[in-house]
Amino acid sequence: GLPKERVIGSGTILDSARFRLLLSEAFDVAPRSVDAQIIGEHGDTELPVWSHANIAGQPLKTLLEQRPEGKAQIEQIFVQTRDAAYDIIQAKGATYYGVAMGLA
Protein backbone atom coordinates (compact mmCIF):
# COMPACT_ATOMS: atom_id res chain seq x y z
CA GLY A 1 0.00 0.00 0.00
CA LEU A 2 0.83 3.64 -0.13
CA PRO A 3 2.33 5.57 2.77
CA LYS A 4 -0.33 7.47 4.74
CA GLU A 5 0.97 10.80 3.39
CA ARG A 6 -0.06 9.75 -0.13
CA VAL A 7 -3.58 8.57 0.63
CA ILE A 8 -6.43 11.01 0.07
CA GLY A 9 -9.95 10.03 1.01
CA SER A 10 -13.23 11.75 1.59
CA GLY A 11 -14.39 9.42 4.35
CA THR A 12 -17.73 10.67 5.58
CA ILE A 13 -17.06 14.41 5.19
CA LEU A 14 -19.85 14.82 2.65
CA ASP A 15 -22.27 12.74 4.71
CA SER A 16 -21.47 14.82 7.80
CA ALA A 17 -22.09 18.04 5.87
CA ARG A 18 -25.44 16.76 4.60
CA PHE A 19 -26.34 15.60 8.10
CA ARG A 20 -25.56 19.02 9.60
CA LEU A 21 -27.57 20.77 6.88
CA LEU A 22 -30.64 18.58 7.43
CA LEU A 23 -30.42 18.97 11.21
CA SER A 24 -30.08 22.74 10.83
CA GLU A 25 -33.24 22.83 8.74
CA ALA A 26 -35.15 20.70 11.25
CA PHE A 27 -34.10 22.90 14.18
CA ASP A 28 -34.24 26.19 12.25
CA VAL A 29 -30.62 27.20 12.87
CA ALA A 30 -27.67 27.94 10.60
CA PRO A 31 -25.69 24.84 9.53
CA ARG A 32 -22.59 26.27 11.22
CA SER A 33 -24.54 26.10 14.52
CA VAL A 34 -24.75 22.31 14.24
CA ASP A 35 -21.96 20.09 15.50
CA ALA A 36 -22.76 16.54 14.41
CA GLN A 37 -20.72 13.85 12.69
CA ILE A 38 -21.26 10.75 10.62
CA ILE A 39 -18.59 8.09 11.15
CA GLY A 40 -17.67 4.79 9.56
CA GLU A 41 -17.61 3.84 5.92
CA HIS A 42 -19.52 6.00 3.43
CA GLY A 43 -22.85 4.38 2.60
CA ASP A 44 -24.94 1.71 4.25
CA THR A 45 -22.61 1.13 7.21
CA GLU A 46 -22.13 4.76 8.27
CA LEU A 47 -23.41 5.86 11.68
CA PRO A 48 -24.40 9.16 13.29
CA VAL A 49 -22.69 10.06 16.56
CA TRP A 50 -25.88 11.00 18.42
CA SER A 51 -24.18 11.26 21.81
CA HIS A 52 -21.93 14.13 20.69
CA ALA A 53 -24.40 16.03 18.49
CA ASN A 54 -25.10 19.63 19.49
CA ILE A 55 -27.53 22.13 18.00
CA ALA A 56 -26.75 25.79 18.73
CA GLY A 57 -24.70 24.71 21.74
CA GLN A 58 -27.39 22.44 23.18
CA PRO A 59 -26.97 18.66 23.32
CA LEU A 60 -29.27 16.98 20.82
CA LYS A 61 -30.53 14.69 23.59
CA THR A 62 -31.75 17.71 25.59
CA LEU A 63 -33.53 19.17 22.57
CA LEU A 64 -35.22 15.86 21.79
CA GLU A 65 -36.65 15.67 25.30
CA GLN A 66 -38.60 18.82 24.43
CA ARG A 67 -39.94 17.44 21.13
CA PRO A 68 -42.02 14.25 21.29
CA GLU A 69 -41.70 13.74 17.52
CA GLY A 70 -37.99 14.51 17.60
CA LYS A 71 -36.56 11.00 17.79
CA ALA A 72 -38.47 9.81 14.71
CA GLN A 73 -37.58 13.05 12.92
CA ILE A 74 -33.83 12.75 13.48
CA GLU A 75 -33.90 9.07 12.54
CA GLN A 76 -35.49 10.09 9.23
CA ILE A 77 -32.82 12.78 8.83
CA PHE A 78 -30.15 10.11 9.21
CA VAL A 79 -31.87 7.89 6.61
CA GLN A 80 -32.01 10.86 4.21
CA THR A 81 -28.32 11.51 4.85
CA ARG A 82 -27.32 7.89 4.31
CA ASP A 83 -29.43 7.47 1.17
CA ALA A 84 -28.67 10.84 -0.47
CA ALA A 85 -26.01 9.42 -2.79
CA TYR A 86 -28.45 6.78 -4.07
CA ASP A 87 -31.04 9.47 -4.79
CA ILE A 88 -28.47 11.57 -6.68
CA ILE A 89 -27.28 8.58 -8.70
CA GLN A 90 -30.86 7.64 -9.58
CA ALA A 91 -31.62 11.19 -10.73
CA LYS A 92 -28.33 12.09 -12.45
CA GLY A 93 -26.59 8.79 -13.15
CA ALA A 94 -23.61 9.54 -10.88
CA THR A 95 -22.33 11.86 -8.18
CA TYR A 96 -20.01 14.31 -9.87
CA TYR A 97 -19.23 17.30 -7.70
CA GLY A 98 -20.16 16.59 -4.08
CA VAL A 99 -16.95 14.87 -3.04
CA ALA A 100 -14.80 17.53 -4.71
CA MET A 101 -16.77 20.27 -2.95
CA GLY A 102 -16.37 18.47 0.37
CA LEU A 103 -12.62 18.18 -0.01
CA ALA A 104 -12.06 21.68 -1.38
Cβ-proximal residues to 89 (8 Å cutoff; 6+ apart), any chain: 95
* In 45-97, alpha helices (H): 60-65, 70-92
Active site residues: 42
Residue 37 half-sphere exposure toward CB, CA atoms < 13 A: 8
